[in-house]
Amino acid sequence: MDSEKTNSRRQFLAKGAAFTGLALPFGAAKAQFGAEMEGLHPRRYDVVNATDERGFSLAYGSRAKFETPQRIASTTANGAVLGAYTPLQDLDGIITPSSLHFIALHYADAPPIIDPREHRLLIHGLVDRPLEFTVDEVKKFPSVNRVHFLECAGNSAPLFHEDARTAQTIHGWTSCSMWSGVLLSTLLQQAGVQKKARWILAEGADGAKHTFSIPLEKAMDDCIVAYGQNGEAVRPEQGYPLRLIVPGFIGVANVKYLRRLKLVDEPHMTRWETTGYVTARPNLRGKALWFDHEWGPKSVITRPSGGQRLEAPGYHQITGLAWSGAGSVRRVEISTNGGRTWKDAEVEGPAYRKAHTRFRMDWRWKGGGAELQSRCTDDLGNVQPTQAELAQLIGAPGPEWFKKTGIIIHDNHIQPWRVDRDGTVHNALL
Ligand SMILES: Nc1nc2c(c(=O)[nH]1)N[C@H]1C(S)=C(S)[C@@H](COP(=O)(O)O)O[C@H]1N2
Ligand SMILES: [Mo]
């Protein structure tokens, strides 16, 4: 701060102090705040428990009552809730508010309520020293804070979205947070990984003991045992008090309520890696590819998107999110004519690795029909495919195949949005 600024700040503070005598004590029944408090020195600090008559709480804030974006849940014909979706079309920037993070709802007790004082994390199997940590002990290790997306392997798959029309219901099984925790490699070094170990079985503390095998190489690279999400504790829906973050891998690998890590020499062939979350591929003669866990480059235009309406011809900003499980987003291109020609969008920095990245482009809508598409290229040069290209990649006869079988594994096809003359926006794949 230069001296001129320092001086004027001092003067400002001195001026404020002159008014101290007029102020109510800070702990008065109704906290007084705002312009009148500027420059006053606090005398007491009180915990504010009550919400005032307008429903406003100072202790733990809530959003303006006029704001309505919310998660929505999908339910199957027999009443099973599949999950809750993030309202991607309503959000700005790259961080998903924790209260709007998508939720995978596999088990009846979701989310389990776990007392962190009773929770333990066990590391055992092919290690020199089996170890058990309390949550507080985990928090004593050197920490990292990293922005990463999470995305359910079934996101964007026609199987789950037969007649879905919005960014939220088609693509809302992805969210992005700043995760705080300890690198898994830090904890593994404490236990001493033996030479024979190749995989880690990770287990959660929910009713059905969600389990998944993680390759040791990945575990030692960038996995995080997270206790923090967007600056506060991980939410119960997201795995409180500890969850595994496996950056760039399909959601199911990111074990919530993490309570056990067993070092093993072979993958455990759990339910979710053998029969759930695998796709029978025509080019493998109906067999599935196991342990294919990394998300490819992906993007979706969130505004304008399905269900929205452009009010009038003229200026509109096209914006959306891009990400890749392999690294960072290098490039996003946008087409407004159904993929015939492409223009580079502006990719907003910082483009974190394995994280949602915001892109935008100015657009003048002339009022006629248009078809908007976005295409992501990651820093390894991988390019997001169209649905037809993806079909080719797995040996499917054509895009109709997706509608019939509903590929459910890391579907990263380009989402086309059709803009009609009346300005309404629709899923062009329906
Ligand atoms: N313990 C536990 N971990 C879990 C799950 C679960 O049901 N229980 N669901 C998995 C699936 S399928 C996904 S997509 C992600 C979703 O994480 P989220 O609910 O925090 O969005 O968590 C994974 N980890
Ligand atoms: Mo999932």
- Please state the atom number of ligand 1 nearest to the C-alpha of residue 175: 21
Q: Which residue segment(s) compose the domain that 381 sits in?
A: 298-427
- Please state the atom number of ligand 1 nearest to the C-alpha of residue 257: 1
The structure's pTM equals: 0.90
Contact 160, 403 (CB under 8 A): no
Helices (H) and strands (E) in the chain — how many of each? 8, 24
Q: Within this chain, do residues 198 and 331 fall inside the same structural domain, yes or no?
A: no
Residue having the nearest C-alpha atom to atom 21 of ligand 1:
103
Count of domains in the chain?
A: 2
> Can you give the pLDDT at residue 22?
38
Q: Within this chain, do residues 197 and 147 fall inside the same structural domain, yes or no?
A: yes
Mutation test of ligand 1: which of 148, 176, 256 has the most ligand atoms closer than 8 Å to its C-beta?
Answer: 256
Q: Within this chain, do residues 224 and 304 fall inside the same structural domain, yes or no?
A: no
Q: Within this chain, do residues 211 and 337 fall inside the same structural domain, yes or no?
A: no
For residue 2, tell me if it sits in a domain. Answer: no
For residue 213, tell me if it sits in a domain. Answer: yes
- CA-based nearest residue to 133, from 275, 266, 14, 242: 242
Of 223, 244, 277, the last residue of a domain is 277
Q: Within this chain, do residues 352 and 271 fall inside the same structural domain, yes or no?
A: no
The Å distance, Cα 253 to ligand 2 centre, comes to: 8
CATH of the domain at 355: 2.60.40.650
Q: Within this chain, do residues 259 and 318 fall inside the same structural domain, yes or no?
A: no
Mutation test of ligand 1: which of 88, 96, 103, 106 has the most ligand atoms closer than 8 Å to its C-beta?
Answer: 106
The Å distance, Cα 175 to ligand 1 centre, comes to: 12
Of 244, 277, 310, the last residue of a domain is 277
Mutation test of ligand 1: which of 81, 103, 152 has the most ligand atoms closer than 8 Å to its C-beta?
Answer: 152
> Can you give the pLDDT at residue 28?
43
For residue 291, tell me if it sits in a domain. Answer: no
Q: Within this chain, do residues 214 and 79 fall inside the same structural domain, yes or no?
A: yes
For residue 13, tell me if it sits in a domain. Answer: no
Which ligand minimizes its atom distance to the CA of 105?
A: 1
For residue 47, tell me if it sits in a domain. Answer: no
For residue 39, tell me if it sits in a domain. Answer: no
- Please state the atom number of ligand 1 nearest to the C-alpha of residue 83: 19
Q: Within this chain, do residues 244 and 348 fall inside the same structural domain, yes or no?
A: no
Instruction: Tell me which residues have their CB within 5 A of the ion that is ligand 2.
Output: 104, 152, 251-252
Residue 83 gets the label, from left (phi > 0), alpha (psi -120 to 50) or beta, of left
- Please state the atom number of ligand 1 nearest to the C-alpha of residue 152: 14
Residue having the nearest C-alpha atom to atom 12 of ligand 1:
252
For residue 170, tell me if it sits in a domain. Answer: yes
Q: Within this chain, do residues 319 and 261 fall inside the same structural domain, yes or no?
A: no
DSSP 314-353: EEEEEEEEEE-SSS-EEEEEEESBTTSS-EEPEEPSP--T
CATH of the domain at 136: 3.90.420.10
Residue having the nearest C-alpha atom to atom 11 of ligand 1:
252
Low pLDDT (below 70) residues in the chain: 1-39, 49-50
The Å distance, Cα 229 to ligand 2 centre, comes to: 19
Q: Is 88 helix (H, G, I), strand (E, B) or coil?
A: helix
Contact 298, 84 (CB under 8 A): no
Which residues does ligand 1 sit against, CB inside 6 Å?
101-104, 106-107, 150, 152, 204, 206, 210, 237-239, 251-252, 254-257
The Å distance, Cα 128 to ligand 1 centre, comes to: 30
The pairing of beta strand 258-264 with beta strand 120-125: parallel
- Please state the atom number of ligand 1 nearest to the C-alpha of residue 206: 1
Q: What whole-number distance in Å separates Cα of residue 417 and Cα of residue 303?
A: 10
Residue having the nearest C-alpha atom to atom 23 of ligand 1:
252
Q: Within this chain, do residues 106 and 240 fall inside the same structural domain, yes or no?
A: yes
Q: Within this chain, do residues 265 and 132 fall inside the same structural domain, yes or no?
A: yes
Which ligand minimizes its atom distance to the CA of 205?
A: 1
Which ligand minimizes its atom distance to the CA of 174?
A: 1
Q: Within this chain, do residues 316 and 271 fall inside the same structural domain, yes or no?
A: no
For residue 31, tell me if it sits in a domain. Answer: no
Contact 28, 40 (CB under 8 A): no
